[in-house]
Amino acid sequence: MTADGHPDVEHTSVGNLIGGVTQDFSELMRLELALAKAELRAEANKATAEVKAQTGKAGKGVGMLVGAAVAGLMVLVFLSCAIWWALENVMDAGLAALIVTVLWVVIAAVLASMGRKALKTIDFSGLKHLNPKPEQTVETLQQVPGALKPN
């Protein structure tokens, strides 16, 4: 090293200097690649966490919609049985059938509305802030040409 902090290259061959530059450049590229991988991995982890958070909401909404489907099936079952057994003696069989049908339609509509409302709360807008571009790597690579220029 010289007194001003620069390497002493006066007695070093051109081949050794080129070899040193090549080795340093290779090390720089290896480190930049490792940095890019780390940045991309961090962004992927953020995206995974956001998707997991929203998946729970989707499951709840789907569960309520399945409940609405089961209630719809129950409409058919109870429509055919309960009308005749419970209300046929009290009123006209047609009116009794209509009353039971309306009851199950209301139940199915409430469950479907709740399920739809739960699904509307799913928000993937948190994924918009994720940046797939390794900013730090790009920034340091932009500095490489300036570092290669002689002072």
Q: What are the pLDDT digits (tens) for 80-106?
A: 686 668 778 899 878 887 887 888 799
Note whether 71 and 108 are within 8 A (CB).
Answer: yes
Mean pLDDT of the chain: 81
Per residue in 122-145, pLDDT (tens digit) is 887 776 776 677 777 777 777 777
The residue ranges of every structural domain in the chain are: 54-123
Query: Which pLDDT band holds residue 69 (cuts at 50, 70, 90)?
Result: very high
